[in-house]
Structure 1
Amino acid sequence: MNVFEALRASHDIQRELSEKLVQTSGDSAERRELFDLLKNELFAHAVAEDRYFYIPLMMTDSGLNITRHALSEHHEIDELLEQLTETEFNNPSWLAIAKKLCELVHHHLKEEEHGFFQQAGKILSESEKTSLAQQYLAEYKKYKRADKESLT
């Protein structure tokens, strides 16, 4: 497995959770559970991706610009998650913020998969792609909440 395949696996989870989240309403157990799962998925993914994809790319001149842009979007996602955390689940603005988060997540993932990955593929060697995948997955699993099953 290379780093792109490893990242895409989490991307698929992020898409699914964010799409389900915006279909919820009010202060429901489903909304709370999906938000908790999405928040954890985004956090585990971003920590591992920053460390084992973007920082290595940042060390190259050609990877600097894509890295800056992606990290900026990670920050925007964090800010929206913080807003959602601080807003009551039954507040009408909660869903509007969640939709904005969903749109940003989808935009970011599309940009990564259809732009950043191609550029990074030219920068990283095959052995780096494999090594970074292993490091990413180990870090991702460290931050991925183990008690996910207890939420259902």
Structure 2
Amino acid sequence: MTDIYDELRASHAKQRRLCSSMVRTLARNPAKREALFRELRIELAAHAAAEERYLYVPILMYDMGLNSARHALAEHHDMDELVEDLRALDSSGQAWGTKASELVHKVRHHLKEEETKFFQVSGKLLRPAQKVRLAQQYRKDYGRMLEVVAQR
């Protein structure tokens, strides 16, 4: 049975793959940059919404998890702002490449920190059955949010 961490790691792997592809795509191929960015934008938004609802909120209920969850939420907010900045730029320009690199750096930092710190803290707070139930809720909401965000 998969737990919440298995689900999140699967999305994290997709985010890492998209980040790598996006920063390797050159300015002379703006259509490919845009397509990869759109896919990453949708993935990040759907993942963040479901993760915040089905991991961060439960962890906020514990004193021991409060600071970690707040920090993770703040990083999601920072990534959201970078995504919006990137949407406003021309994908064939140098500024787009610079901002894309900044976003990719932030995403990679967040994923590493989450997997090496937040998962350990939260893993001690949640019961095994809770982790499985949260995975089911996350998976359902993540799928729904992929559709919702794709419409934006």
Shift of 1:88: 1.1
Residue 7 (structure 1) aligned with residue 8 (structure 2)? yes
Task: Tell me the residue number matched to 1:86.
Answer: 88
Distance 1:36 1:66 in 2: 29
Counterpart of 1:136 (choices 128, 138, 143) is 138
**Aligned letter for 2:53?**
R
Task: Tell me the residue number matched to 1:48.
Answer: 50
Shift of 1:90: 1.5
Task: Tell me the residue number matched to 1:76.
Answer: 78
Q: Deviations over 1:36-77 (max 9, x none)?
A: 000000000000000000001001111101001000000000
Aligned length: 147
**Aligned letter for 2:72?**
A
* Residue pairs, 1:95-114, within 5 angstroms: 95-114=97-116
SS of residue in 2 equivalent to 1:74: helix
Q: Deviations over 1:77-132 (max 9, x none)?
A: 00100000011111211101100110110000000111110111100000110000
TM-score after normalising by structure 2: 0.93
**Aligned letter for 2:91?**
F
Distance 2:64 2:30 in 1: 46
Shift of 1:23: 0.8
Distance 1:136 1:98 in 2: 27
Residue 25 (structure 1) aligned with residue 26 (structure 2)? yes
Distance 1:9 1:92 in 2: 31
Unmatched 5+ residue regions in structure 2?
none
**Aligned letter for 2:41?**
K
TM-score after normalising by structure 1: 0.93
Unmatched 5+ residue regions in structure 1?
none
Shift of 1:28: 2.2
Distance 1:86 1:28 in 2: 14
**Aligned letter for 1:135?**
Q
Aligned sequence identity (%)? 46
136-145 or 44-53, larger mean C-alpha shift: 136-145
